[in-house]
Amino acid sequence: MSVDLSTKIAGIRLSNCMYNASGVNCITGDELHILGKSKFTAVIQTKSCTLNSREGNPLPRYYDNSICSINSSGLPNLGYKYYSSISEEMSVYNKPYIVSVSGLSPNDNIVIVDHLKENLDVNGIELNLSCPNIVGKPQIGYDFCAMSTLLRRLFEDYAPTIINNQKQIFGLKLPPYFDISHFT
């Protein structure tokens, strides 16, 4: 007996509902090609990218034991232009290619999204508003005023182009809201 795991997200048909998070093992072209070849992933999603490449936080960045795991990657990535430049390579896998964006400032996010929305080989943009672990860069997803300002700028200036482009979707990655201050 086979089970159909296909689904649709924002009108894009996926062979199944599984794909990688914009975290580890999706930084390099080689890692993205592995995702493209995998029969278990329906999407190829990049590491959250910044304007320029970043090495991330010093090693060690990951710890686990029998109780928990902790990571503090600090956005190691090859910069948005790299992920945009390999989009045509990723199209050979016939899977949506999503570039995750996490600029170090609201303006960085706008610059990156503005560039990516012109690349029709990029099937989706994930705006990561929940990336922690960078000294001096709080999660914008916890600052409701800053998040509102950024989203207004993006949707007033850029959303009509993104929304009218049937090939490209736009999504948000938000942090968990578990503190009482988020509800008062």
Is residue 17 among the annotated active site residues?
no
Q: How far apart are CA 99 and CA 123, in angstroms?
A: 8
Burial 95-132 (b: 16+ CB within 10 A, else e): bbbbbbbbbbeeebbbebbebbbebeebbbbbbbbbbe
Residue 51 Ramachandran class (φ > 0 left, ψ -120 to 50 alpha, else beta): alpha
Give, for 14, the enclosing helix (H) or strand (E).
strand 12-14
Amino acid identity of 143? D
Assign residue 72 a region: left if phi > 0, alpha if psi is -120 to 50, beta otherwise? beta
Question: Which spans in 78-128 are helix H?
Answer: 80-85, 87-90, 106-116
Catalytically annotated residue among 17, 26, 131, 145: 131
The CA distance from 103 to 82, in Å, is 14
> Active-site residue numbers?
131
